Every structure is written in structure tokens, then in C-alpha cells.
């Protein structure tokens, strides 16, 4: 194979692979559940969560908040570049680049471009409380557990 022919075929292969990857990435947004990104999270009994406290669930990257009325869940993933947030006195802080959010998940400062996502909390058929990271709700919405 001549050198010029090889370079031409290699360039064509590279363009083809790039096009396929771009097409798959584009189409993937229409099937988030098939991609396995938004699995419902079983929380169990609301009584497991202390009242007036944000509980961090490391494996699900969530903060779960419970008060006397009910329970709600917010993403612990910074909207800037995806670092895991830490709870501060009056909100959430990102240890990576310093974004700050208030208790409602609203951006107060930093490079974060969007507020935090709050997720629907409901009761599953088996009676357990579940969080649906595929369904965003307003920060004021909470599952009334009593
Ligand atoms: S990843 Fe959180 S501020 Fe950059």
C-alpha cells in the first residue's frame, strides 16, 4: 500500500469513527433511562433520616432533607464540573472551585452555571420511600410523609 493511499484511508476511518461517536452521543440524550443514568433510589423509611437535617448519601450523590412535614432530595453534584458538594452552615459548597449554593440549591456565587436539581420523592408500591433522579421538581416540593 502506498503511503498516500494509507493516509487517505486512515483519515477516512478517523472521520467515520468520529461521526459514529458524535451520532451516538446525540441520540443518547433521548434515552436517558436506557443509559442507566437515572435509576430510582430506594430510601426506605423516612424515620431513618434525622429531622431538620440534610443527610448525604454518598453512593447516590444526594442530600436528603427531612422535617416534620416531609422529605425531599437534592443533587449533591456541582453544576459547574460535577464535583461532590459539601454541606455548609446555610447551604452547600463546592470544594473544587468554590461555588456556593443556598439551602434551596440556588447559586449564590462561583462558576456554577445552574441551581441544584431537586428530585421527586414518592412512595413505591412496596411502601418504601424512593427518589426519582429523572424527575426534577421545585425546591419547595416535598413528599409529605405523615
Ligand atoms: S466543580 Fe464545583 S465549582 Fe467547579
| Model confidence pLDDT, tens digit, residues 8-23 | 888 898 889 888 888 8
**Statement to judge: residues 3 and 73 lie in one domain:** no
Same-domain check for residues 20 and 75: no
109 - beta bridge partners? 100
Residue ranges lining ligand 1, Cβ < 6 Å: 78, 80-81, 83, 94, 96-99, 110-112
Report the chain's mean pLDDT, rounded to a whole number: 87
Nearest ligand 1 atom to the CA of 79 is: 2
Mean pLDDT score, 102-116: 95
Same domain, 54 and 19: no
Tell whether pTM > 0.85: no
State yes or no: pLDDT of 76 exceeds 50. Answer: yes
Residues 61 and 122 placed together within one structural domain of the fold = yes
The answer to whether residues 26 and 45 belong to one domain is no
| Adjacent-strand bridge partners of 65 | 54, 72
Mutate to test the pocket of ligand 1, among 94, 107, 115 (most ligand atoms within 8 A of CB): 94
* Together in a domain, 125 and 63: yes
Q: How far is the CA of 29 from the centre of ligand 1 (A)?
A: 23
**Residue 35: inside a domain:** no
Is residue 18, in this structure, part of any structural domain at all? yes
Q: Mean of the pLDDT values across residues 110-139?
A: 90
Domain count, the chain: 2
Residue 36 lies in a domain: no
Identify which of 83, 105, 116 to mutate to test ligand 1's pocket (most ligand atoms within 8 A of the CB): 83
For residue 124, the model assigns a pLDDT of 84
Q: What is the pLDDT of residues 34-70, one digit of tens each?
A: 444 568 889 888 888 999 999 999 999 999 999 888 8
Note whether 17 and 50 are same-domain residues.
no
Instruction: Examine residue 134 and state whether it is found in any structural domain, yes or no.
Output: yes
Question: Domain residues for 113?
Answer: 41-144
Q: Which of 116, 108, 55 is nearest to 82 (CA)?
A: 116
Give the Å distance between the CA of 85 and the centre of ligand 1.
9
**Domain match, 10 and 46 both:** no
Task: Flag whether 70 is in a domain.
Answer: yes
Please check whether residue 78 is in contact with residue 123, taking contact to mean a CB–CB distance below 8 angstroms: no
Q: Check pLDDT > 80 for residue 118.
A: yes
The number of the ligand 1 atom at minimal distance from the alpha carbon of 111 is: 3
Give the model's pLDDT for residue 128: 83
Q: What would the grid cell of residue 51 be?
A: 429531622
Which one is predicted more confidently, 45 or 88? 88
Q: For the chain, state the CA radius of gyration.
A: 21
Amino acid at each position: 500500500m502506498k503511503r498516500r493511499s494509507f493516509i487517505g484511508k486512515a483519515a477516512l476511518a478517523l472521520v467515520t469513527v468520529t461521526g459514529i461517536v458524535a451520532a451516538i452521543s446525540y441520540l443518547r440524550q433521548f434515552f436517558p433511562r436506557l443509559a442507566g443514568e437515572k435509576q430510582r433510589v430506594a430510601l426506605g423509611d423516612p424515620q431513618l433520616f434525622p429531622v431538620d437535617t440534610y443527610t448525604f448519601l454518598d453512593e447516590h450523590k444526594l442530600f436528603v432533607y427531612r422535617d416534620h412535614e416531609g422529605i425531599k432530595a437534592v443533587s449533591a453534584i456541582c453544576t459547574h464540573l460535577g464535583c461532590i458538594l459539601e454541606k455548609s452552615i446555610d447551604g452547600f459548597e463546592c470544594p473544587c472551585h468554590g461555588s456556593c449554593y443556598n439551602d434551596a440549591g440556588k447559586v449564590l456565587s462561583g462558576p456554577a452555571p445552574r441551581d441544584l436539581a431537586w428530585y421527586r420523592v414518592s412512595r413505591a408500591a412496596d411502601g418504601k420511600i424512593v427518589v426519582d433522579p429523572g424527575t426534577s421538581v421545585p425546591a419547595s416540593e416535598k413528599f409529605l410523609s405523615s
